[in-house]
A and B are shown apart, each in its own frame.
Chain A
């Protein structure tokens, strides 16, 4: 009970909602880093996944590599990046870049693999029927394959987003701010209110993201794909 009270008290304290170390600015840092890394990962992984899904070219190699990427521990990736990013920029290379790059590495594989599987999973007969009606390859990709694969594509993006938001807290250990900072400080100062406050904030952010993605998916995916057959 003390824990809940302490957490509530910390969250309610107006002092914690002010200044460069306050909740709003840490939240913004967290969201900005997650958003940028998700965007960059999507810009790389989506076109690649769509392309190998549509053509089937190199798909085995690329998907196997992406699945192996998934085995990379983020904590180790962030750490390993430090010696190299500090060469580029001694300051940001020690605080921001390692976490940013590691989050891109983390987000890429689920986006790529789902894009590939979604497109490759579209019934070949359907694609051939579209081709037989005189659709061009680009019309088939954007008019047939992507709309049908959308639930799978969206699942990849959603998984990546939630994973990045949860994992970006690790950045606090490596000089990056974000919501993880409260957890680190709470742990170091034996301040349970701050520690659990940080945990609550991260979980809320991840759940809100999850919810937002699910809502968006429901709006974007055609009802023809979600409705069950009528009798």
Chain B
């Protein structure tokens, strides 16, 4: 790397098109994972809330999964699903579930029982109570989970670069730059993926405030 300048601007300007494509791929991979993960997690959380005994099992599974590096899951899945989009999405979705489920369950747990009592006393039906009382009050923690999961997924998408050219979003540039000893590529991939994560984080903070003007600032579960 010693002969090269830190940044070769000519390379950067010549590759604006492909870089934009990589940003698009990055967001696409992350969005699918967050969307699918959220749907699965909501179902899992709903079941855990109804059947409390299942919740410890869910958390133990989640913790166990936490100990398996994303990197290993990507590599391991190649042997099963080959090099398809599923190879990237299955681990990404699994990791969002770890972050979503505790936050969604905590969100619904955080609804005070006296509020539920009052709603019942005023004659809300079960469905009305869920839709007009429980859901709005659970939103702060649910959105907090959404924020954690989005940021984490944007980070993990970079790791899928180890699967090859067709994956990784901006992570492709980090790996390719490292292997070719080409710092410009590393900086483009690294800085842009950090920027994506930070922007997503800020966007969700904003969304949180807009959706729940009554909620305290720090509301999240890790």
Contacts and interface: CB of A to CB of B under 8 A. Distances in A.
Interface of A: 3, 68, 70-77, 79-80, 82-83, 86, 90, 110, 159, 162-163, 165-167, 169-170, 172-174, 180, 183-184, 186-187, 192, 195-196, 198-199, 202-203, 206-207, 210
B68 A75 contact: no
Contact of B79 (A195, A206, A210): A195
B45 interface: no
A225 to B, nearest CB: 20
Interface stretch (B15-23, B130-138, B148-156): B148-156
A7 to B, nearest CB: 10
Interface stretch (B34-42, B115-123, B191-199, B206-214): B191-199
B154 to A, nearest CB: 7
Contacts of A198: 72
B187 A83 contact: yes
Given A75-B171, A80-B187, A187 B194 contact: no
A80 B79 contact: no
A80 B186 contact: yes
A75 B63 CA distance: 21
B107 interface: no
Contacts of A207: 64, 67
Nearest to A165: B67
B79 A192 contact: yes
A86 B69 CA distance: 26
Interface in B143-180: 151, 154-156, 158-159, 161-162, 170-171, 174-175, 177-178
A83 B70 CA distance: 25
Interface of B: 1-2, 6, 63-64, 66-73, 75-76, 78-79, 151, 154-156, 158-159, 161-162, 170-171, 174-175, 177-178, 183, 186-187, 189-191, 193-194, 197-198, 200-201, 222
A96 to B, nearest CB: 14
A88 B174 CA distance: 20
If over half of A's interface residues share one DSSP class (helix, strand or loop), that class is named, otherwise mixed; here it is helix
Chief secondary structure at chain B's binding surface: helix
Given A80-B190, A186-B75, A166 B68 contact: yes
Contact of A202 (B68, B155, B156, B189): B68
Given A3-B79, A199-B68, A202-B67, 11 more contacts: A71-B201, A72-B194, A73-B154, A73-B193, A76-B193, A83-B6, A166-B70, A170-B159, A203-B68, A207-B64, A210-B63
A180 B194 CA distance: 23
18 contacts: A75-B158, A76-B158, A77-B194, A80-B187, A80-B191, A82-B183, A82-B186, A83-B1, A110-B222, A169-B71, A173-B71, A174-B178, A183-B71, A183-B76, A184-B75, A184-B162, A195-B76, A206-B66
A202 B73 CA distance: 11
Contacts of A162: 66-67
Given A75-B159, A76-B194, A166 B178 contact: no
B189 A76 contact: yes
A143 B91 CA distance: 44
Given A68-B201, A187-B162, A79 B190 contact: yes
A203 B154 CA distance: 23
